Structure 1
Amino acid sequence: MATLLMLTGSTQASVEILPALSLLPHQVRVLPAEASALVIDTPPCDAVLVDGRHELARARTLTRILRTTGIGVPLVLVLTEGGLSVVQADWGIDDVLLTTAGPAEVEARLRLNTGRLARDQEDDDAHVIRSGNVEVDEATYTARLGSRPLDLTFKEFELLKHLAQHPGRVFTRQQLLAEVWGYDYFGGTRTVDVHVRRLRAKLGPENETLIGTVRNVGYRFVIPPGAGESHTDVTTAPATDRLR
């Protein structure tokens, strides 16, 4: 069973807007189609249905606003057959449902859209390295410490990425010089120490120990107790499972 959010300017029940919902086991929450409240706090749900039967212009504005917020669930527009001729890709919706759609079609479209979104999120996570509270995105060359972006140079980013990929593993300065700077780099190992010092400064006093020093050996990435393991972690069941 999925949780669906129905946004409408009507006072009708969800089963009057999309009758097929009366034959499906999903939980439907109906809210006014007011963008201001939703931008601040969109209730948890598996999909958002927008009622566009009578006010397509209003529905278009709402779907565009919701899309700009980075909504993480499928956005589906419910409309009559006459509305199909005006719907455009720039409305930001994932799919449309006619009010006359049967329960099998509604269920299939919800399942396919949530499944597609789950795959897209998995593809995005494939580029992300997570070690403790540190998140490194190889695709965008960005790094974060919790919710705080880290302003790193290219080599600082590469150094953090390399260490975070192997939490707990100790690297000598010579290894880091070869693997991060390259075998054709002719500088000394002092370069590694300088970059580690700068990286620690950007992590801040409370987090500088994430880059640990192993005396007379080198450096390693240290995950604080209770911070979790590295790499992508998905703790909730995929939306596709909730629709089965």
Structure 2
Amino acid sequence: MTANPIPIRNGEPDYLAELRDEGIVALMTSSMTDMRRASDYEGLDLALVDTTRMADATVKSCILEYTRLKIPTIALVPQHGVGMFDPSLPFADVMVVPARSGEIILRARRLLSAQPEKDESVVRAGDLSINHTNYEVAVSGRSVNLRFKEYELLLLMATNPGRVYTREQLLERIWGYDYLGGTRTVDVHIRRLRSKIEDRDHQFIETVWNVGYKFKDPSGW
């Protein structure tokens, strides 16, 4: 974990300062605007959702979005609001505020220690998995046999979903500057790759006409 790069605004509790001193990267969420900041910070460990400053519908939207982003949340609930807080929401923990100094640290440590370790060797996109330590690719558990250039194309695009690559960029990244063939090579390999990983229920690669290709953004699935 890295030091918390997120500034503490005037009037906020000292919870962020306590977490920052422990090397825990946290984001205080008091509005939908705050929640949208989550994507601006790499390595975000958890989000604090301040229910004292938001309407119930906004609290729900924030917690559901953090759940989609796989960012654990601690809901901060005032004593007078405990009976009205929706326990069915998928928050990871709830803390009644104001809380004693140190309580947020204990809760954050417990929460983060319970999080499963990320398997950095496997890239997953829906039913597609790419293991870049043993070069295995599978769709819905079915092993897919790819040629090396097909594998390199897939790994590059799958690790950058939504990014559009021109044929020239793909040719340069996968085949190198010195390759003498034309961009038609890219089209041929993409077509072969699609035939192996896609079917009626699985479409991963999109053609951007007159430009190139992109791997579908999982948020649009």
TM-score (structure 1 length as normaliser): 0.43
Higher relative contact order (CA 8 A, sep 6+): 1
Q: TM-score, normalised by structure 2?
A: 0.46
Task: Determine which structure has more spread, i.e. the larger CA radius of gyration.
Answer: 1
